[in-house]
Amino acid sequence: MAATLTLRTPIRGLERLDRAGIVTTLRANFTDLGWETPCILAALDDAPLHFEALGQARLPTWSRGRVVLLGDAAWATSPFAGIGATLAVTGGYVLAGGSLPTLTRTPPSRPTNGACAP
């Protein structure tokens, strides 16, 4: 069994707890959820465990001169959203299409026989 537990809390520094402290924290916060949760919490005694804190950097500006923050880092999305690649590509597309209008864009050449471009 593999399980992911996500805890949103104003308490900082939980990632610095030792294993016993982390397990105690998880059990205290997830104990009432039902379904498979009791089995997951019971397995915490000896299952491999990875626990880390997630944060968000808020920048006053996303560009300096010709240097621009792009990729999933430029979006306020959670790693659990499962849409980071989409956002990363969309950011590049929007930047190239809307924010750099002076670029000369040449459309890709298309086959004339109706076939799809390679």
Ligand X SMILES: Cc1cc2nc3c(=O)[nH]c(=O)nc-3n(C[C@H](O)[C@H](O)[C@H](O)COP(=O)(O)OP(=O)(O)OC[C@H]3O[C@@H](n4cnc5c(N)ncnc54)[C@H](O)[C@@H]3O)c2cc1C
Piece of 23-31, 35-43, 69-77, 98-106 that binds ligand X (CB under 6 A): 69-77
Q: Residue 68 CB, nearest distance to ligand X (Å)?
A: 12
- 68 makes contact with ligand X (CB under 6 A): no
Using CB under 6 A as the binding rule, whether residue 72 contacts ligand X is answered as: yes
What residue number has its CB nearest to ligand X?
Answer: 84
Q: Would you count residue 101 as binding ligand X (CB under 6 A)?
A: no
CB neighbours of residue 40 within 10 Å: 19
Q: Taking the complex as a whole, how short is the minimal distance between the CB of residue 85 and ligand X, in angstroms? A: 3
Distance from C-alpha of 77 to C-alpha of 104, rounded to nearest angstrom: 32
Q: How big is the chain by its Cα radius of gyration, in Å?
A: 23
Asked if 44 and 23 count as a contact pair (C-beta separation under 8 A), the reply is yes
Is 71 an interacting residue with respect to ligand X (CB under 6 A)? yes
Chain centroid to CA 97? 25
Q: How far is the CB of 23 from ligand X (least distance, A)?
A: 24
Give Cβ neighbours of residue 112 (< 8 Å, ≥ 6 apart): none
Residues of this chain that interact with ligand X (CB under 6 A) are 71-73, 82-86, 88
